A and B are shown apart, each in its own frame.
Chain A
Amino acid sequence: MATPTLSIGGLKTWFFTDSGPVKAVDGVSFSVMPGEILGLVGESGSGKSITGFSIMGLIDPPGRVVEGSIVFKGEELRGRSDAAMRTLRGNRIAMIFQDPMMTLNPVLRIDVQMVEAVLAHRKMTRSQALALAHSALERVGIAAPGERLRAYPHQMSGGMRQRVAIAIALLNEPDLIIADEPTTALDVTIQGQILFEMQKICAESGTSLIWITHDLSVVAGLADAVGVMYGGRMVEHGTVAQVLESPRHPYTQGLIASVPQLEARGQPLRQIPGAYSPLVNVSGCAFAPRCERALPVCQTEPQLAATADGRLLRCHNPV
C-alpha cells in the first residue's frame, strides 16, 4: 500500500487559559493518501480549523499540541523546530484560509505577495518567480493575469481573491493542501466553480487535499473520504459513500437528516436537539447529552475504533 501523504494519530491540541484548559482538539486520527480529497466536517467549535493549524505548526501560546503524532510523508512533524516547519509551510504543505480579504495584505500588490511565496523556498530570479505566478493565476481560471498581478486585493471581488489564494497555495506544487472553509464567504455559483477547479487540480497533480467545512453538500460533491468531528474529537471517518449514505454515528445521522430536502415541503425542519457548549469539558462521550441513543455506558469516553467495513467510529451505541 502506498504511503499516506499525511497520517494523524490521536492528536490533542489544548489551550491553557486562566479558567482551565480548553480542549479544542481532543482525539483526532485520520490519513490522507496522495491525490485523495478528505472532507473534514463539523459545526463551529468542533475543532476542525485548529486541527488544520496544528498540522501546520501554527498553534501559538496559550495553545499547544499536547499529544499525538503528525506524520507527513513518513516523517514526524511534532517536535520539529519552527525553522524546520517553515521550510515545509507554503512549500510542501499549503493552507488556504476562509476570508480572502483579510488573508491578503491590503497594502501590498498581488505580485509582491505571490513572488515572496516562491522566493521564500526556491532560488530564482524575480522575473522567473513572476512567470510562475502568472501561470498559477491562469491555472485557477483568472483572466488577464498580468493586470491582476499589478493590482491590490481590494480591487478584486471575493471570488477572485480566493482564486488568488488558491494560486498562492499551488505555487510551489505542495503535496498537501489544507483548505479551511475557503468557500463559506462566497456565492454558491462561485463556490461551485472553485470546487470543480480544485478537484481537477488534485486529480492532475496528485496533491492531497483536506477540505474543512460545515457544509455537507460541499463534501458530497467534492470529496473521496469524509471525517466528522464533534467536540474536538473525530467521531466517524469513512468513504463518502459509506458515511453519507449509511451513517453509523448518531451525530452524523442527525447532520444528514437535518439537511433540508426538496421533497419534504411544509414539514418542520429536523434538527439535533440542544447545542454544543465547548467550555463544558465533559467526561465520556461529548455528544451524549444530545443523543437519542445514549446509554449509561456513554458516560465513559468511547474510543475511535475500526469497524468491519473499514471505517473509524467513536460510539458505544452506533446506528
Chain B
Amino acid sequence: MSTYLLSRIGQGLMLVLIMSLLVFLGLFAIGNPVDMFVNPQADQAEIARTTAALGLDKPLWEQYGQFVRKAIKGDLGQSFVHGASALQLILDRLPATLELALVAITIAIVFGIPLGLWAGLKPDTFVGRFIMGGSIIGFSLPTFWVGLMLIMVFAVHLQWLPASGRAVTESVLGVQTSLASLDGWRHVLLPALNLALFKLSLIVRLTRSGTREALTQDYVRFARAKGLTGRRIVGVHVLKNVLVPIITVIGMEFGSLLAFSVVTETVFAWPGMGKLLIDSITQLDRPVVVAYLMFVVVLYVAINFVSDLAYSLLDPRVRLGGAAR
C-alpha cells in the first residue's frame, strides 16, 4: 500500500515538473520572454536593461533552472497590472473561489446522488425519465448561458437574488468567509447553482448507471433470497457499491470545478482566481497567468492524489489486496 502511495506521489511530482517545463517553454521560447518581466509598453532602454539584469540572454536550460528555483521559493514574478507578487494575488483570491466551489459541490452531491438513485431504481416512471432528461439538458447547456438565464430570471425578472458580487466577509475560525451571513448566502446561491449544474448532471447519470448495474448483480438477488427488505438492499448493499466509484469521481471533478469557476466568476463578477485569470489574459499580465497555471497544476495533482487515496481506503478490494483467486 505504501509503495502505491509513493509511486502516486512520484507521478504527481513528475506531472508538476512537466507542466513547469511546458509553461516555461511556452512563455520563454515561443512567446517573447521579455514580456514576462517587463511591461510591453516600456521603452527600448528599459527592455535592454531588464534583459541583461534577468539573464534572459543566457542559455535556455540555465533560465529554466532559475525559473524552477524561484518557483520553489514562491516567487513567480510580479504582476504588471497590480504590481504585487503574482502568487500572492492568486492566494488572496483563493478563498473566494474555494467558497464557491465547496457550495457548488455540496449542492451537486446532496441533490445528485438521491436523484440518480431514484432514476436508477425506477427508470421507467415519469419521474425517472424526467430526471434523466433533465440531466442530459444540464450536461449540454454551456455554463455561461445557464448563468445568464439564472440572472435573467432570478435577479432581473423576479428580483429575488442579487445579480453579481460576493457579500462582505467575516472571520470565522480564522478564515475569511462570506457564508456566515444570510446576505452571503443570497449572493453565493446563483453562482454556486450555475457551477453545480454540470457536475449535478454528471453525478445523476453516474449514480443512475451505477445503480442500474448494481441491481443486476447476483448479490442483490442473493440478498432478496435471504429475505431482506428492499430498503436494506438499496440502502446498504446497492448504495455502498455505487458510492465507492462515485466518491472518487467527485474528488477528481472538484479539481475541474476550480477550472470551470473561471466562467461562473466572470458571469457573476465573483472575485475569485478565475476572474483574475481572464483579466490577466486579456491584459497580457503574463506573470499572473504563469502563477495561476503552476498553482492550479499543483492543486490538481494534490486533489487527484487525495481522491486516489480515498478510493483505496474505501474499496476493501484495493485496500486489503487479498488471496482472491
Assess A/B contact in the complex (Cβ within 8 A).
yes
Q: Residues of A with Cβ closer than 8 Å to B?
A: 56, 58, 86-91, 94-95, 97, 99, 102-109, 116-117, 120-121, 152, 154-158, 165, 168
- Contact of B316 with A107 in the complex, beta carbons under 8 Å: yes
Most A CB contacts (10 A, CB to CB) among B227, B236, B322 go to B227
Interface size class of B (residues with CB under 8 A): 20 to 34
> Which of A89, A103, A106, A108 meets B227, CB within 8 Å?
A89
> Which of A58, A120, A152 meets B317, CB within 8 Å?
A152
> Which of B219, B226, B240, B244 meets A89, CB within 8 Å?
B226
Residues on the A chain within 8 Å of B317, using CB? 106-107, 152, 154
User: How far is it, in angstroms, between the C-alpha of A56 and the C-alpha of B218 when the chains are bound?
Assistant: 15
Closest to B244 in A: A107
Closest to B214 in A: A105
Residues on the B chain within 8 Å of A86, using CB? 227-229
Q: Residues of B with Cβ closer than 8 Å to A?
A: 217-219, 221-229, 232, 236-237, 240-241, 244, 315-317, 320, 322-325
- Contact of B323 with A156 in the complex, beta carbons under 8 Å: yes
User: How far is it, in angstroms, between the C-alpha of A239 and the C-alpha of B86 when the chains are bound?
Assistant: 88
Taking A104-B222, A105-B219, A157-B325 as contacts, is the C-beta distance between A90 and B228 under 8 angstroms?
A: yes
User: How far is it, in angstroms, between the C-alpha of A39 and the C-alpha of B199 when the chains are bound?
Assistant: 53
Residues on the B chain within 8 Å of A87, using CB? 227
Closest to A82 in B: B230
- Contact of A91 with B217 in the complex, beta carbons under 8 Å: no
- Contact of A108 with B237 in the complex, beta carbons under 8 Å: yes
Closest to A154 in B: B324
| Nearest chain B CB to A177 CB, angstrom units | 11
- Contact of A155 with B322 in the complex, beta carbons under 8 Å: yes
> Which of A105, A156, A158 meets B223, CB within 8 Å?
A105
Minimum-distance CB pairs A-B, first 3? A90-B227, A90-B226, A102-B218
Residues on the A chain within 8 Å of B228, using CB? 86, 90, 116-117, 120
Closest to B228 in A: A120
Residues on the A chain within 8 Å of B315, using CB? 107
Taking A152-B316, A168-B226 as contacts, is the C-beta distance between A97 and B323 under 8 angstroms?
A: no
Residues on the A chain within 8 Å of B244, using CB? 107
Most B CB contacts (10 A, CB to CB) among A89, A95, A103, A109 go to A103
